[in-house]
Amino acid sequence: MSVRSVTVVLNASTDGEHDGPYGALVTVTADYLARLRREIEQAKAMKVTDQDLVGVLHADRRVVWLEHSELVAGLGEVTGFDDDSGGWAVVPAELDERLSAALDQADSGQEYRSELDTRRTDEHEVYWTGYPKHGDFGFLTASLSAAALAELAAQLGT
């Protein structure tokens, strides 16, 4: 059975001197997953001819940065994304619905306001970066490796 999309929760970190988002959500559809996998392959090909390549950046507003909250803390407890999971997990459908409803409410306090959100892809992985509104420091998510993207493909039935 294939599903239309999965929501992935990723651990988030900052430079250590600032408080940033607790984590991030990315909704992955089959099309978006194919794009991420294609970008990793493109980065591999580019790396062959340019050993100095560090990665490729794309503007990407698909990431939702999460504030520290009771609901979001529960997300960590249920999924374990902030433990030994590699820094990411698929959000269970029933929790995804509650989280989506909370995020849809204006000023719910669930979403961490950000700007300059980007997706960085290299020959091994992809991760997302951002900056707080009017802030002077950055934050980033845990990465999704090519193997992690293959796991997501299996869940999406692609």
Q: Hey, where are the domains in the chain? A: 5-156
Distance CA 140, CA 125 (A): 13
Residue 3: the pLDDT is 67
Distance CA 45, CA 53 (A): 11
pLDDT in tens, 89-145: 888 877 777 777 666 665 655 667 787 899 999 999 999 998 888 777 888 899 999
**Regarding beta strands 139-141 and 5-14, do their DSSP bridges make them parallel or antiparallel, or are they unpaired?**
antiparallel
Give which of 15, 13, 10, 14 is closest to 36, Cα–Cα.
10
Distance CA 103, CA 64 (A): 9
3 state SS of 13: strand
pTM: 0.85
Do 139 and 148 touch, CB atoms closer than 8 A?
no
Report the percentage of the chain scoring pLDDT > 90: 39
Q: If you compute the radius of gyration of the chain from its CA atoms, what whole number of angstroms results?
A: 16
CA distances from 96 to 19, 23, 120, 123 (A): 25, 14, 25, 30
Residue 55: the pLDDT is 94
